[in-house]
């Protein structure tokens, strides 16, 4: 699937929103990619995850892992297609951790999947936790790279299905704040609006 086809999936799902948004990274942007408008459609999700499967199948993946919440869906569907375990980490006291009886065996070959990458901080944290549990991270797959090319996960094989060049601003430099546009917080941790 080409970058354009990936972005077309987001457009068909009305998942490319325009406004003034607070990103999970703390930065502000005029574009927000609402992955759950895509991931609610099993057909779209299967099609996107098939790209991860095709790219990483030679890596002999044993476990696919994502972070709650978006990573749960991606990890499950990618693992289903690879016929391996699909697990996730979730935050406990602000830190990503394995819960619910999930574990990673020493040396298991792990594929990390992510939805939207802005700073890459969550993926870096996830990789560190997988390594601390004894896993061998052999790849990272993400739907969208909106980092501006600034992320390096320290993993040999990284695949982004699409790259989106969208400006993100620190609050003090945000042109939308200067215009006093209402700020919308989205995502699983930020569901209210702030004016």
**pLDDT per position as a tens digit, 132-143:** 999 999 999 999
Q: Which one is the CATH code of 3-194: 3.40.50.2020, 1.10.760.10, 1.10.3720.10, 3.30.365.10?
A: 3.40.50.2020
Cβ pair 71, 114 in contact under 8 A:
yes
**Domain range annotation of the chain:** 3-194
**pLDDT per position as a tens digit, 62-104:** 999 999 888 999 999 999 999 999 999 999 898 988 999 899 9
User: Residue 191: its pLDDT value, please?
Assistant: 38
User: Residue 187: its pLDDT value, please?
Assistant: 62
Closest CA to 74 of 124, 133, 116: 116
CA distance 103 to 114: 19
The proportion of the chain whose per-residue pLDDT surpasses 70, expressed as a percent, equals 95
**pLDDT per position as a tens digit, 111-125:** 999 999 888 888 999
What the block records as the tokens of 14 is 């009305």
Contacts of 82 (CB under 8 A, 6+ apart): 53, 56, 57, 61, 64, 111
Assess whether pLDDT exceeds 70 at residue 13: yes
Task: Judge residue 154's burial from the number of C-beta atoms within 10 Å of its C-beta, 0-12 exposed, 13-18 middle, 19 or more buried.
Answer: exposed
Q: What is the mean pLDDT of the chain?
A: 90
What is the model's pTM?
0.85
Cβ pair 185, 193 in contact under 8 A:
yes
């Amino acid at each position: 699937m080409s970058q354009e086809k990936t972005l077309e999936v987001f457009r068909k799902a009305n998942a490319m929103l325009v406004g003034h948004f607070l990103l999970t990274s703390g930065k502000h942007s005029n574009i927000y990619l609402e992955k759950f408008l895509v991931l609610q459609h099993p057909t779209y999700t299967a099609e996107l995850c098939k790209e991860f499967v095709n790219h990483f199948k030679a890596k002999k993946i044993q476990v696919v892992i994502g972070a709650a919440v978006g990573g749960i869906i991606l990890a499950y569907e990618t693992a289903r297609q690879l016929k391996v375990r699909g697990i996730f980490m979730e935050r406990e006291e602000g830190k990503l951790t394995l819960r619910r009886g999930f574990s990673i065996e020493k040396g298991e070959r792990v594929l990390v999947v992510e939805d939207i990458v802005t700073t890459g901080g969550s993926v870096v944290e996830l990789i560190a936790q997988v390594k601390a549990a004894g896993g061998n991270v052999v790849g990272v797959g993400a739907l969208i790279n909106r980092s501006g090319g600034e992320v390096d996960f320290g993993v040999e094989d990284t695949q982004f299905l699409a790259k989106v060049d969208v400006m993100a601003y620190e609050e003090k430099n945000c042109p939308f704040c200067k215009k006093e546009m209402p700020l919308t917080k989205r995502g699983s941790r930020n569901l209210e609006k702030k004016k």
